[in-house]
Amino acid sequence: MAGRSRLLSEGGCPVGKEGTKTVTQRRVRRESYHHGDLRQALVEAGLALAREGGPQAIVLREATRRAGVAPNAAYRHFANRQALFDAVRAAALGALAAAIEAEMAQARALPDALLRSRALLAAVGRGYLGFAQAETGWFRTAFASVEYDVDLPPDTTRAAAMGLNPFELLGYALDSMAEAGVLPPERRPQAEFLAWSAVHGMALLVIDGPLRRATPEQRRALALRLLEMVEKGI
């Protein structure tokens, strides 16, 4: 009996290569379940899925598998697939905001208000278009929701260092143009939608439409012309 006891694991499984592996896996799962950051681990798993396959690839069961926990463990944080999707979408919007802010950094340092405001608007467009091409899965996920959510309460997960989501960053640039006298006050209301529709349309043409076959040089040239058109047209 003593010899038999030594051959049994704590769960009653034979100890050997396979038994030890099984026990280790169970311990890892338990530790992952109780490590206190399971929600973030699931969101990161969802982001990895979205990066690989877009919004349709975000599956709760696969996210739990990648996080190393049993499927039921996820329900402590996400009631269903839609709840996980919403969290991943918010994180994708936050990544887009960070990409836009990175483009805005140099423009924000310009001392001349007029030049700064124009450079900010161009930076928002470049960041948006660049993100669509570099992180296509996240870009599609960010805009996959059918809900009109521009006016939702502030959510830090949708923002980056400046605390503004991508739509608000566009508004920040347009406000700067209005304050500098580049954009007439009567043309400021809802100008975000005019600029956004133009740049978003270009992004879709690049990732899904005929411009997906264009060379990087052609895309850059078209983006420059588009951003100049947006500034003059709003």
The CATH code for residues 92-233 is 1.10.357
> How is 68-126 classified by DSSP, letter by letter?
TS-GGGGGGT-SSHHHHHHHHHHHHHHHHHHHHHHHHHHHHT-S-HHHHHHHHHHHHHH
CA distance 150 to 170: 12
Determine if the pTM surpasses 0.85.
no
Q: What six digits make up the tokens of 214? A: 């264009």
> How is 150-181 classified by DSSP, letter by letter?
TTSPP-GGG--TTS--HHHHHHHHHHHHHHTT
Q: What is the pLDDT of residues 203-215, one digit of tens each?
A: 999 999 999 999 9
pLDDT band at 139 (very low <50, low <70, confident <90, very high): very high
pLDDT band at 20 (very low <50, low <70, confident <90, very high): very low
CA distance 125 to 206: 14
Higher pLDDT, 229 or 145: 229
Contact by Cβ (8 Å): 191, 182: no
Amino acid at 21: K
**Other Cβ atoms within 10 Å of 113 Cβ, number:** 14
pLDDT band at 151 (very low <50, low <70, confident <90, very high): low
